[in-house]
Amino acid sequence: MTEVQTSPAAAPAAAGPSPRTGTQRAARVKEAATGWLFALPFTVLLVAFLLLPMAYAFKISLYRSTLIEGEVFAWFDNYKQAIDDPLVREGVVRVLIFGLLQTPVMIGIALIAALLIDAATSRFSRFFRLAAFVPYAVPVVIGTLMWGFLYSDSIGPFAWTGIDFTSSDTVLASLGNIVTWQWAGYNMIVLYAALQGLPRDVYESARIDGASEVQIALRIKTPMISSALVLATLFTIMGTLQFFTEPLILQPLNPGAITQHYTPNVYAYNQAFSFQQYNYSAAISFLLGAVVFIGSYIFLFATRKRSALR
């Protein structure tokens, strides 16, 4: 990421002594003032809605609310409780399993679709590009509602299969399907854009050497867009760790299978808004946020040779 940071605008005004230093200094002060003025609204928002909430969440996560003494400073007790809480663990294990299974499936579909529309230039492939992307334009809530109806054994088109899509055995896969449906097309476009940026003459030489289209796709194109693949995987994993809306919406279909602690975020939400356990909820949220945040940076750092973000 340093590439973007260390490119300050050229500084011609600072070069050498000149008789007009006074006016130049005045111009520089004016530029600095304008710069701050322009960046101010954003800076205020960054402080008010990012830094302050983060600091506040951390602060209240260190307190406990007791009946007798009110708010009591409790050091890291809430964190200890969260780490020991079997319900938190269950949710964490679930989102990890979900991420490990769902991410490769979705990125795989996105990659296949991207390679296909990159290789086939027909009217149908242009139509397909749009068809795959449209689910991304649907709000997650409404996409989940739609699939909730489709999974229904009374009004859905799959009732004849006899499969109960919301039983405790199948519901994780059903949720995974919703996420795949919604995000595969988005990732396809990202990967397709990367494919479009590759130099085409490489394929020509491979073809002359007798490589088939499938070989070109798998051995040349795929490795060359590894940076885009890495980023798409990262964003998917970050998303799955925060899994919230889909399970919350489908909860009434089978509250026994989609529990109040189904994912860490659902648990934190219920702790705060059903049980008013704000301190404990803040600790879970902060812990989860920290894991996602640190995890993303470790992932980016470990794969920085392959990723465009250096």
Enumerate residues 71-100 that contact other proteins by CB under 8 A. none
**Do 171 and 254 form a contact (C-beta atoms < 8 A)?**
yes
Scored b (16 or more CB within 10 A) or e, 99-129 reads: beebbeebbebbbebbbbbbeeeeeeeeebb
User: Which tokens is 250 given?
Assistant: 């489908």
CB of 281 to other proteins, least distance (A): 6
d(C-alpha 260, C-alpha 49), whole Å:
27
Q: Can you tell me which of 62, 172, 175, 249 binds other proteins, judged by CB under 8 A? A: 249
Contact call for residue 42 and other proteins (CB under 8 A): yes
**End-to-end CA separation in angstroms for the chain:** 5
Name which of residues 146 to 165 contact other proteins (CB under 8 A): 146-150, 154-157, 159
> What size, in residues, is the chain?
310
Window contacting other proteins (CB under 8 A); options: 86-94, 100-108, 163-171, 191-199: 191-199
Q: Residues 6 or more apart from 226 whose CB is under 8 A from it?
A: 306
Q: Could you tell me the smallest distance in angstroms from the CB atom of residue 100 to other proteins?
A: 19
CB 267 within 8 A of CB 260: yes
Rule CB under 8 A: say whether 301 interacts with other proteins: no
Interacting residue with other proteins among 18, 24, 34, 168 (CB under 8 A): 34
Size of the site for other proteins (CB under 8 A): 111
Q: State the nearest-atom distance from the C-beta of 77 to other proteins, in Å.
A: 18
Residue 41 in contact with other proteins, rule: CB under 8 A: yes
Q: Which of 93, 96, 173, 308 binds other proteins (CB under 8 A)?
A: 308
Residue 189 vs residues 75, 178, 195: alpha-carbon distances, Å: 46, 18, 10
Nearest alpha-carbon partner for 282 in 297, 265, 260: 265
Reading the block at residue 124, the tokens are: 């149908």
Position among 88, 171, 172, 232 found at the interface with other proteins (CB under 8 A):
232
Q: Closest approach of Cβ 125 to other proteins, in Å?
A: 6
Q: Does 211 bind other proteins (CB under 8 A)?
A: no
Question: With binding defined as CB under 8 A, does residue 206 bind other proteins?
Answer: no
- By CB under 8 A, what part of segment 116-135 binds other proteins? 116-117, 119-120, 122, 124-125, 127-128, 130-135
220 is an interface residue for other proteins by CB under 8 A = no
Could you tell me the smallest distance in angstroms from the CB atom of residue 122 to other proteins? 7
Closer of 7 and 199 to other proteins (Cβ): 7
Per DSSP, the chain holds a count of helices (H) and strands (E) of: 15, 2
Q: Is 171 in the site for other proteins (CB under 8 A)?
A: no
The DSSP secondary-structure symbol of 68 reads: T
